[in-house]
Amino acid sequence: MTRYHYYKPMLALTANDAFTEESWIFEIKWDGFRALAYLEEQFSLRSRNGKELKQNFPELQQIVGLGKNIVVDGEIVIMQEGIPDFQALLKRRQAVYMSEIKRQSQRTPAMYIVFDILEKDSKSIVDVPLIERKAILKDSLREGANVLLCEYIEGKGEAYFKLVLEKGLEGVVAKKKDSCYEEGLRTGSWLKIKKLKTCDCVILGYTQGTNVRSETFGALLLGLYGENQTPIYVGKVGTGFTKQMLRALSERFEKLVTDQEFFKLESGGSVTWLLPKLVCEVAYQVVTKDGRLRMAKFKRLRDDKNPEQCTLDQLTQVQPKTKTSIEKTKNSRVFDGVADENLAEYVSKRNFYATPEPAGGVERKEPLIFVVQEHQSRRLHWDFRLEKDGVLKSWAVPKGVPEEPKVRHLAVETEDHPYEYAIFEGAIPKGQYGAGTVKIWDKGHYTLKVWEQDKIEVILNGSRLRGNYVLVRLKKSEDPKNWLLLKGKKN
């Protein structure tokens, strides 16, 4: 029997916060490949962009014996220690030869977690309310060694979201009980709720890398498609890459270089443009008023998704109008301001609903400032920070800043901090990054003499520290973040 219609998966909008509402159900958001399974005379397992997957996951064909004449929707995952391992799944998807596919299916078997049913006995049931479809699914499909039915919770979304995060999972999907299955649409009847918001973007180019990235790239230029399939610039992402991913991406970029310029960038710099063939998932804090992803962080490549599917409607964020959500909106800390990709690593390490640390957005003032903060965390150390380009370049100094010439102390470069961190004092709560007490040891202004790749020389004018200070990168160290901090000779 030839199938006349292949379904398009229903999509979810992004919600700001978890909520509690009896008219909704809540499921785990699985980090895997979305797939529709057609349990008919000719079994088919299709990705969200219509590609056949059954040859890559032969162990999932056991589903044929668990149900008959149905079409179901679910997620393919590989579990490692109770948590989905997307990289292992990606490796499975890239295998070509049957011998390798068979080996991998035995070594890292996939699971198919089914959460919806679209058709039964050749009759579409997409217009049946979700809660009824759930009952039909339970009666129509048995579980197996590699096939599971997705459990759900009714109403108690906030408690469930908290539990899911404690288990190391990425979030939940909220669904209206009475919602129909709306093919290929993102209507708001389904909402994805994560600790950080994410977006699938097209990679349209990259900036030139410097220092340790001189042989790869600096940041990726991201785009989303608007009306008439016109790519719209939504920002850069320069953090979240492993060394392996930097090399792998650079190799793939070589075949995609183009002379076509997709949009004009406000800032200068060398840009290499790429054909819109690759999709990546990016985490971000908020969308700025000018449509940029604030504090973007690279998560993964999405080879399972077509570039044309990366549309602007992903950035539409909704919040159900419940008493709980209205109250949470009143109490939420909202961080606006100019996006600064230098702070992406800083933001990614912190939960600003829990820590009193500043999130960024305050504009710098003249003259240049410095601060030294005593940080009593797991180990006592001092944080030495110099303001540059609106952020605080930072180093952790285990033995403190030298106050006498010829004394040299190790200084380990850390992530950039926001400008207003220079006045921060307080207790970072237990369980948060850098937990412990922070207090200002010295602060003041400085005059810049030299700021090079491997050497920084300044004149400090503080309450305790005055005169020349020099930072020199340890070139023989295996870690490029290791520097020496010393007090220089008098002028």
* Domain locations in the chain as residue ranges: 13-194, 198-318, 361-487
Better-scored residue on pLDDT, 34 or 358: 34
Digit-coded pLDDT (tens) for 157-194: 999 999 998 888 889 999 999 999 999 888 788 999 88
Better-scored residue on pLDDT, 392 or 350: 392
Digit-coded pLDDT (tens) for 254-273: 999 999 988 877 665 689 99
Full-model pTM: 0.52
Burial of 294 (0-12, 13-18, 19+ CB in 10 A): buried
The H or E element containing residue 88 is helix 86-94
Q: How many residues does the chain have?
A: 491
Q: Which CATH number fits domain 13-194: 3.40.50.300, 3.30.470.30, 3.30.1330.10, 2.60.120.260?
A: 3.30.470.30
- What pLDDT does 354 receive? 63
Mean pLDDT of 134-159: 95
Residue 327 contacts residue 222 (beta carbons within 8 Å): no
Confidence tier at 10 by pLDDT (50, 70, 90): very high
The H or E element containing residue 253 is helix 243-253
- What pLDDT does 337 receive? 32
Better-scored residue on pLDDT, 385 or 168: 385
Q: Which CATH number fits domain 198-318: 3.30.565.10, 3.30.420.40, 2.40.50.140, 2.40.128.110?
A: 2.40.50.140
Confidence tier at 195 by pLDDT (50, 70, 90): confident
Residue 207 contacts residue 269 (beta carbons within 8 Å): yes
- What distances in angstroms separate CA 212 from CA 243, 269, 481, one per listed residue? 10, 18, 10
422-454 b/e with 16+ CB inside 10 Å = b?
bebeeebeeebebebebeebbbbebeeeeeeee
- What pLDDT does 316 receive? 63
Query: Please, what sign has the CA dihedral across residues 97, 99, 101, 107?
Result: negative
Q: For every residue of 294-314, which 3-state class applies, written as one string?
A: CCCEEEEECCCCCHHHCEHHH
Q: Is the pLDDT of residue 324 over 50?
A: no
Q: How far apart are CA 318 and CA 334, in angstroms?
A: 15
Candidates 331, 38, 313; CA nearest to 185 is 313
Mean pLDDT of 468-484: 90
Mean pLDDT of 407-436: 89
